[in-house]
């Protein structure tokens, strides 16, 4: 499972000297050098997955914890690179990657080497309350890790625990900044505000809202869930803030071949955004003024829905015009999978968003922002842990590995390769009449297509699993591809071969 | 910083055989055997803390992140057992322990040894989406760790990321179970529910509420913050659910000497709880029906406010009577510091609470509950990570170390020792007229007292720091003691000596 220490050390040394950096940009060599023992094909020992051992272990978990959402039980020690091993000994090509949250492969030797360092062990076993008692290496750690991938224009970093927490803390920062602007930066809180907030009443607990889109997913805690609109099952029975929603533009794919029609659809959506904001600021609005808009660069859990860079520029313009903060939720799109480190890099915005949130593949979570949206006083957006030093160290190594091996550029190239091949499979090949609506033009390996029906989608995923390829769904009938950044052309070819077979059998 | 591997192995072996278990119950030996290099007195090199190096590092962090809540910058590698080392080389007796979240001492050799195991490295560097792809060892890991300290009557375990997340997921489980009971267990969701929840409207997003107490602290995300009533600074400018609040009983300390008066005060509070619940269920109630009540065994952030076991029994009775779930928030009180593993163990309830939440000293977070409050379908109370395998492994080792070394019983004894001494200091000694209202009778080392004024409290904390003892405040004017579970009589004597000196100087 673990490559020799010597090779790790050699790579670390080469990284510093920049020698390997050039060499490994060749597409063919990255995964074989990182994962010399990576399989070349699936290894299947049970006729279907989950097999008997997975089922037995899952049932045992079921005695104390929900197990009905289990796919299969995983042998992480035996998983390697792009390949996931299960409890029964099956080994599958993993194109789901723990719900899009493994960046650089299972048992990546750079991460295993990190785990053995004193710095890592000290940070993990002596977990700091980072907001009050940060470790001596915190500044250096953040600046040489998360700090090296700051989105353009944003140089503050708030660290948190998970994607939902990242979004909710960005909401809190938005609300505080919005009210600070209303009352004037230097103004004190009034006694009425101080008292009313303790009763959860206005003006201390103001009626302010977050605007989001239909099909959006921003998390599952109480604030983030109020902005989430993916599926009823995510929201049923949970009290919500009465926050407004606007329809996601009804675009056609491929985006480039439907540019004129899509521009119209996006215009409709942008007008609805402006209307919702304007209405929210009128007296008696049921939701209170919109303080921030939150948007995913590609709506992920909600079905992989895209829009054009012009749409996002329009959102930046309309939010700026009305003094609304713009939060870009890069929890799933961030960290390279779209062929840019941040998906919003490809928009070329004329001015940056106010907040960019992250989690998943970064392992660490939080948001980037500007000093203007720091709260007026300490302890306002605060908690015990304020993030996790363990995951911050891990994030630094992930970022370094991505940079050392040119994994973002590689993912862009491999994504374009798969996109072209998939177009052919769907239009002329085995997929014709069974799957449709390929998405992900110029979006790296962040690809998706629909089954003609939800049943076809579900069957396809199960067939692919039997053939040794692990994929995930999203929305009502989409298959989403979420391979890691070490997914290469050889893996793509294997995936395409198996897909062809599975589609032919449907 | 790290004790020899041999001694760790010897201890692990002794643990299994049970030999050391008996030996280490002797109070004197635990910390010296675990931390042979623990200092016997503070080491102070700068006239005040933070010193110049702490300040410089904090200022550098301030260029990208909030730093105004920094106490000092910590050298975790040099911290040991009960002693925290700062960037300037000062070494202080730590009675705050990262806001009550370090259980068994800095650089505990059992935890350092754990960090070096393949099991730990595999789990940390290949982070599972636990709700769908759990590792092969998950059942065994949970059952031999978190499962061994299940509160009486609760045998389900929901794992989460932090204390706020733990409480919010318990809220979600409460709301789902409450609605399931209303609609009948077998009933399907109606089309109206499915549609209305996507608009954040009732009946799909119902008006249901959580009842909490004045001065309560349950976290800082949007649901948990709506139940939090500690300080205005925690709540200002953040939209809240319009959830109800009831006054915490106005008890006098020591509880045992004011039993009759306190029983009256608690009766008033219990009547107010019942009234709030009954009113919430009337048509047109502004908050909607109360689905759950959340309560801390000792209100911690809100000022260390106590109540009697009879009060909590009363809460269990009134919630049961009206079909309201009872959530006991043991995020700060749990894991031994009150002289019981769970603070609510000391209540001897006639029937268990519905949910017990945990985080902080456990390092892992989540809640215990009953199978009746599992949601009706999978994916309803779900997220990407569903907890953290790294912290779950750490929790198991912390629990084992606590059991091996009898740290709960020891904390109970040391707590009683300090309580008695502090009584004398406050009533007859240097504290007279300066500090008052000692709390924590029969509550282990979970002790607190007030400064006569907030200024005296703040000064006392700064004076103690200059003398080499690190303490924390809570509420408006309380000093709270939150030492680790490896805090022994010798540490207590040192603390008492320094306190005497600091009080005399005030």
Reply yes or no on whether the pLDDT at A149 is more than 60.
yes
- In angstroms, the CA B157 to CA A61 distance is 10
Q: pLDDT digit string (tens) for A367-405?
A: 999 999 999 899 999 999 999 999 999 999 999 999 999
Contacts of B380 in chain A (CB under 8 A): 233-234, 236
Mean pLDDT across the stretch B17-43? 68
Reply yes or no on whether the pLDDT at A297 is more than 60.
yes
Mean pLDDT across the stretch A163-192? 94
- In angstroms, the CA A379 to CA B232 distance is 11
Residue found under tokens 């549609």: B195
Answer yes or no: B466 catalytic: no
In the prediction, which pLDDT does B29 show?
62
% of residues, chain B, pLDDT over 90: 91
The 3-state DSSP class for residue B334 equals: coil
Contact A480, A474 (CB under 8 A): yes
Reply yes or no on whether the pLDDT at B3 is more than 90.
no
Cis amide bond preceding B6, omega within 30? no
Contacts of B114 in chain A (CB under 8 A): 125
Q: Do B57 and A223 touch (CB under 8 A)?
A: no
Query: Which tokens in the block code for residue A168?
Result: 């909710």
Mean pLDDT across the stretch B39-53? 97
Write down the ipTM of this complex: 0.94
Mean pLDDT across the stretch A227-249? 97
In the prediction, which pLDDT does A82 show?
98
CATH architecture of the region A128-387: 3-Layer(aba) Sandwich (3.40)
Band (pLDDT 50/70/90 cuts) for residue B65 is very high
Question: Which DSSP helix (H) or strand (E) runs through A229?
Answer: none
Q: Which of B239, B290, B360, B380 to mutate to test the interface with A (most CBs of A within 10 A)?
A: B239
Contacts of A98 in chain B (CB under 8 A): 127-129, 133, 384
Answer yes or no: A189 catalytic: no
Q: Do B232 and A189 touch (CB under 8 A)?
A: yes
Shortest CA distance from A173: residue in chain B? B238
Reply yes or no on whether the pLDDT at B370 is more than 80.
yes
Reply yes or no on whether the pLDDT at A443 is more than 80.
yes
Angle of helix A118-125 versus helix B389-404 axis, rounded to 10:
70
Whether A475 and chain B come into contact, CB under 8 Å, resolves to no
In the prediction, which pLDDT does A29 show?
62
Count of CA atoms in the C-beta half-sphere (13 A) of B62: 13
Mean pLDDT across the stretch A152-175? 98
Q: Do B235 and A390 touch (CB under 8 A)?
A: no
Q: Do B134 and A209 touch (CB under 8 A)?
A: no
Q: pLDDT digit string (tens) for A452-493?
A: 999 999 999 999 999 999 999 998 999 999 999 999 999 999
- In angstroms, the CA A131 to CA B101 distance is 14
Between the two ends of chain B, the Cα-to-Cα distance in Å is 36
In the prediction, which pLDDT does A15 show?
39
- Which residues are CB-contacts of B9 (< 8 A; sequence separation ≥ 6)? B113
Query: Which tokens in the block code for residue A142?
Result: 């953040």
- Which residues are CB-contacts of A420 (< 8 A; sequence separation ≥ 6)? none
Q: pLDDT digit string (tens) for B454-489?
A: 999 999 999 999 999 999 999 899 999 999 999 999
% of residues, chain A, pLDDT over 90: 91
Nearest to B383 among A164, A226, A238 (CB): A164
Q: pLDDT digit string (tens) for B114-173?
A: 999 999 999 999 999 999 999 999 999 999 999 999 999 999 999 999 999 999 999 999
Q: Do A176 and B237 touch (CB under 8 A)?
A: yes
Q: Do A237 and B175 touch (CB under 8 A)?
A: yes
% of residues, chain A, pLDDT over 70: 94
Contact B213, A212 (CB under 8 A): no
DSSP for A80-142, written as a single string:
BBTEEEBTTS-EEEESSHHHHT--S-BT-HHHHHHHTSHHHHHHHHS---TTTS-BTTHHHHH
Whether B112 and chain A come into contact, CB under 8 Å, resolves to yes
Q: Do A69 and B132 touch (CB under 8 A)?
A: yes
Reply yes or no on whether the pLDDT at B322 is more than 60.
yes
Residues of chain A with CATH 3.90.1150.10: 23-105+406-505
Whether B98 and chain A come into contact, CB under 8 Å, resolves to yes
In the prediction, which pLDDT does B12 show?
39
- In angstroms, the CA A292 to CA A173 distance is 10
Query: Which tokens in the block code for residue A204?
Result: 């201390």
The single residue of B117, B122, B384, B453 carrying the catalytic annotation is B384
Q: pLDDT digit string (tens) for B328-339?
A: 999 999 999 999
Answer yes or no: B217 catalytic: yes
Nearest to B233 among A178, A232, A380 (CB): A380
Q: pLDDT digit string (tens) for A91-129?
A: 999 999 999 999 999 999 999 999 999 999 999 999 999
Nearest to A136 among B74, B135, B206 (CB): B74
Q: Which of B54, B84, B125, B209 to mutate to test the interface with A (most CBs of A within 10 A)?
A: B125
Beta strands B209-213; B245-246: pairing state: parallel
Angle of helix A118-125 versus helix A389-404 axis, rounded to 10:
150
In the prediction, which pLDDT does A308 show?
98
Q: Which of B64, B46, A383, B467 is nearest to B55 (CA)?
A: B46
Reply yes or no on whether the pLDDT at B16 is more than 50.
no
Reply yes or no on whether the pLDDT at B289 is more than 60.
yes
Question: In this structure, which CATH number among 3.40.50.300, 1.20.1530.20, 3.40.309.10, 3.90.1150.10 belongs to the domain A23-105+406-505?
Answer: 3.90.1150.10
Q: Which residue has the higher pLDDT, A11 or B65?
A: B65
Band (pLDDT 50/70/90 cuts) for residue B33 is confident
Answer yes or no: A150 catalytic: no
pTM, two decimal places: 0.94
Q: Would you tell me which residues 269-308 of chain B have a C-beta closer than 8 angstroms to some C-beta of chain A?
A: 288
Of A15-29, A49-63, B29-43, B343-357, minimum mean pLDDT range: A15-29
Mean pLDDT across the stretch B211-235? 97
Beta strands A209-213; A290-295: pairing state: parallel
- In angstroms, the CA B299 to CA B186 distance is 39
Band (pLDDT 50/70/90 cuts) for residue B7 is very low
In the prediction, which pLDDT does A26 show?
47
Q: Do B133 and A108 touch (CB under 8 A)?
A: no
The 3-state DSSP class for residue A170 equals: helix
In the prediction, which pLDDT does B24 show?
40
Residues of chain B with CATH 3.40.640.10: 128-387
- The residues pairing with A362 across neighbouring beta strands, listed in sequence order, are none
Reply yes or no on whether the pLDDT at A7 is more than 60.
no
Residue found under tokens 């079921």: A62
Mean pLDDT across the stretch B358-383? 96
Reply yes or no on whether the pLDDT at A447 is more than 80.
yes
Whether A3 and chain B come into contact, CB under 8 Å, resolves to no
The single residue of B96, B213, B217, B325 carrying the catalytic annotation is B217
Shortest CA distance from A105: residue in chain B? B126
Q: Which of B2, B66, B74 is nearest to B34 (CA)?
A: B2
Q: Do A122 and B58 touch (CB under 8 A)?
A: no
The 3-state DSSP class for residue A69 equals: coil
The single residue of A360, A361, A410, A477 carrying the catalytic annotation is A360
Whether A99 and chain B come into contact, CB under 8 Å, resolves to yes
Q: What is the mean pLDDT of chain B?
A: 93
* SS3 sequence of B464-476: HHHCCEECEEECC
Q: Do A147 and B390 touch (CB under 8 A)?
A: no
């Amino acid at each position: 499972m673990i490559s020799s220490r010597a090779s790790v050390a050699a790579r670390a040394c080469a990284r510093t000297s920049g020698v390997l950096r050039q060499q490994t940009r060749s597409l063919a060599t990255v995964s074989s050098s990182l994962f010399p023992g990576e399989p070349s094909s699936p290894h299947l020992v049970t006729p279907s997955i989950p097999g008997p051992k997975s089922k037995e272990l899952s049932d045992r978990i079921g005695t104390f914890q929900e197990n009905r959402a289990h796919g299969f039980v995983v042998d992480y020690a035996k998983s390697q690179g792009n390949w996931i091993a299960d409890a029964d000994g099956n080994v599958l090509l993993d194109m789901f990657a723990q719900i899009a949250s493994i960046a650089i492969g299972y048992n990546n030797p750079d991460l295993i080497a990190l785990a053995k360092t004193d710095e890592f062990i000290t940070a993990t076993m002596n977990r700091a309350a980072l907001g009050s008692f940060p470790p001596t290496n915190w500044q250096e750690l953040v600046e040489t890790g998360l700090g090296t991938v700051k989105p353009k224009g944003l140089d503050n970093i708030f660290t948190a625990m998970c994607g939902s927490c990242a979004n909710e803390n960005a909401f809190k920062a938005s609300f505080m900044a919005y009210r600070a602007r209303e009352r004037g930066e230097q103004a004190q809180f009034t006694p009425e505000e101080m008292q009313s907030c303790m009763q959860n009443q206005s003006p201390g607990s103001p009626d302010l809202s977050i605007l989001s889109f239909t099909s959006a997913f921003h998390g599952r805690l109480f604030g983030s869930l109020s902005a989430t609109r993916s599926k009823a099952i995510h929201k049923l029975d949970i009290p919500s803030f009465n926050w407004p929603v606007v329809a996601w533009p009804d675009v056609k794919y491929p985006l480039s071949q439907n540019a004129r029609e899509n521009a119209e659809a996006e215009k409709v959506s942008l007008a609805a955004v402006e209307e919702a904001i304007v209405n929210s600021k009128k007296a008696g609005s049921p939701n209170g003024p919109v303080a921030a808009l939150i948007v995913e660069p590609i709506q992920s859990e909600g079905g992989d829905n895209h829009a054009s860079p012009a749409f996002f520029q329009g959102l930046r313009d309309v939010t700026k015009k009305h003094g609304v903060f713009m939060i870009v939720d890069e929890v799933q799109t961030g960290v390279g999978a779209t062929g840019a480190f941040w998906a919003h890099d490809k928009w070329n915005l004329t001015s940056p968003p106010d907040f960019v949130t992250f989690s998943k593949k970064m392992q660490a979570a939080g948001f980037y922002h500007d000093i203007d949206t720091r709260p007026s006083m300490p302890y306002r957006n605060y908690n015990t842990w304020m993030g996790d030093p363990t995951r911050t160290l891990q994030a630094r190594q992930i970022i370094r590995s991505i940079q050392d091996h040119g994994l973002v550029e590689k993912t862009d190239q491999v994504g374009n390769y798969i996109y072209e091949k998939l177009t052919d499979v769907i239009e002329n090949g085995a997929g014709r009449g069974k799957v449709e609506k390929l998405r992900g033009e110029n979006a790296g390996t962040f690809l998706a297509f629909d089954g003609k029906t939800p049943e076809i989608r579900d069957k396809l995923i199960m067939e692919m699993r039997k053939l040794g390829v692990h994929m995930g769904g999203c929305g009502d009938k989409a298959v989403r591809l979420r391979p890691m950044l070490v997914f290469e052309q050889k893996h793509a070819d294997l995936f395409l071969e198996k897909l062809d077979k599975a589609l032919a059998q449907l």
